[in-house]
């Protein structure tokens, strides 16, 4: 049993890390605002192709779709890429942004930014807590995913991932404490924020099944996934058939061929970075997790890593063909890899940090370009 004093110290350390990450993230965003006359719309990256319907114009980036939904509600379909259901399935972030702004259009860009800054700090604090309570590694290793280029670019571009990852990590922490229903509900909200929020839930489901805990696995799957499926059905009825390719003709559905998106990489540099930061680590972590599963009493961290690796490997080509979108969806892999290595190979955490921590330099270069 952990003493009350030790538990209090662990919580305080985790809170400290969360606050530090929140402050660093706020400074990161402040620097961007200073370069752009404190205009929060710089994070939205609005493109005239969708905002004004100008054919052949710049298309902006994905954060604009959350902004359009937050400002226009269910009337945003003319400004969304096809199919609009693809954007509406990620409903929690724009709705929460609109609610916190009390429906004031000019305030919504600020609430979008605030949500992501706070969510990033929460995610770091929870990950630090999991490291402190489930491993012998330092909780400060939580800084590596926090400074990952994909994480910082998700904030720089007003994307759904920071909130989805924070909710997912909160669901994981709650679930591992034995509160299955509450954890599953948090996963459900994470999934409605973005489907990446269900990756860790998938790992827990695989763990429960591997332990023949059929009822626990079924409860988790139903509570976490059913709202997402029901929402997709509603969107299908409302908005019609799904369009399975992007504007570039690249498939938007998961490919049966692992890392099929690499064949659509825009250039050799992006191909190389995706291979080094996504494909090779996923393969190494997958092999490591499977070996531990076969040779030791499996812990949930094994299945979290397996689920994250499979998610990356079979991500739709339209996502993994482009560098920034690939870096964004690697966040569950970083979290699961960190926990797996911290549990079984804590002395190898240096290599984990050496691979991913330097990417903060790339994040700063992109964000302040």
* DSSP characters over 258-323: TTGGGGG-SSHHHHHHHIIIIIHHHHHHHHHHHHHHHHS---HHHHHHHHHHHHHHTS-HHHHTSH
Residues 320, 261: contact at Cβ < 8 Å? yes
d(CA 142, CA 341): 13
pLDDT of residue 2: 57
The residue ranking higher by pLDDT, 251 or 127, is 127
C-alpha distances in Å from residue 100, one per residue of 42, 78, 117: 20, 24, 14
**Rounded Cα distance, 250 and 352, in Å:** 32
Average pLDDT over residues 31-48: 93
Average pLDDT over residues 259-288: 87
Range ranked top by mean pLDDT from 56-65, 197-206, 240-249, 290-299: 197-206
Inter-residue long-range contacts of 38-46, CB under 8 Å, 24+ positions, other chains counted: 40/109, 40/110, 40/112, 40/113, 41/109, 43/109, 43/112, 43/113, 43/155, 43/156, 43/157, 43/158, 44/109, 44/112, 44/158, 45/157, 45/158
Does the pLDDT of residue 245 top 60, yes or no? no
Q: What is the pLDDT of residues 161-214, one digit of tens each?
A: 999 999 999 999 999 999 999 999 999 999 999 999 999 999 999 999 999 999
Residue 128 banded pLDDT, cuts 50, 70, 90: very high
39-53, 193-207, 224-238, 250-264: least confidently modelled range: 250-264
What pLDDT was estimated at residue 25?
A: 97
pLDDT at 272: 87
pLDDT of 125 > 90? The answer is yes
Local structure of 251: helix, strand or coil: strand
pLDDT of residue 299: 93
Residue 1 is predicted with a pLDDT of 47
For all residues of the chain together, what is the average pLDDT?
91
The confidence score (pLDDT) of residue 55 equals 64
């Amino acid at each position: 049993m952990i003493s009350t004093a030790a538990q209090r110290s662990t919580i305080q350390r985790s809170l400290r890390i969360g606050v530090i990450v929140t402050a660093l993230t706020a400074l990161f965003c402040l620097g961007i605002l200073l370069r752009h006359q404190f205009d929060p719309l710089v994070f939205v990256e609005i493109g005239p192709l969708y905002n004004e319907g100008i054919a052949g114009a710049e298309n902006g980036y994905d954060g604009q779709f959350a902004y359009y939904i937050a400002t226009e509600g269910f009337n945003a379909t003319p400004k969304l890429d096809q199919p609009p259901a693809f954007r509406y399935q990620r409903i929690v972030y724009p709705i929460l942004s609109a609610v916190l702004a009390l429906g004031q259009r000019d305030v919504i860009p600020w609430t979008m930014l605030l949500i992501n800054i706070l969510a990033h700090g929460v995610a770091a604090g929870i990950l630090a807590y999991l490291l402190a309570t489930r491993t012998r590694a330092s909780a400060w290793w939580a800084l590596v995913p926090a400074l990952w280029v994909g994480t910082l670019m998700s904030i720089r571009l007003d994307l759904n991932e920071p909130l989805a990852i924070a909710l997912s990590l909160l669901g994981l922490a709650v679930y591992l404490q034995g509160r299955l229903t509450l954890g599953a509900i948090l996963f459900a909200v994470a999934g409605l924020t973005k489907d990446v929020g269900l990756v860790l839930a998938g790992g827990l489901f695989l763990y429960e099944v591997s332990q023949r805990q059929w009822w626990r696995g079924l409860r988790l799957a139903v509570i976490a996934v059913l709202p997402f499926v029901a929402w997709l059905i509603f969107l299908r009825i409302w908005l019609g058939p799904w369009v399975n390719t992007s504007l570039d003709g690249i498939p938007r559905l998961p490919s049966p061929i692992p890392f099929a998106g690499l064949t659509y990489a825009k250039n050799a540099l992006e191909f190389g970075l995706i291979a080094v930061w996504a494909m090779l680590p996923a393969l190494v972590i997958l092999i490591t997790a499977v070996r531990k599963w076969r040779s030791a009493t499996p812990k949930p961290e094994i299945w979290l890593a397996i689920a994250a690796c499979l998610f990356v490997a079979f991500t739709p080509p339209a996502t993994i063909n482009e560098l920034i979108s690939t870096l964004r969806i690697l966040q569950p892999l970083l979290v699961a890899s960190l926990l797996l290595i911290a549990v079984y190979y804590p002395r190898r955490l240096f290599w984990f940090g050496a691979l991913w921590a330097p990417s903060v330099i790339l994040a700063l270069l992109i964000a302040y370009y």
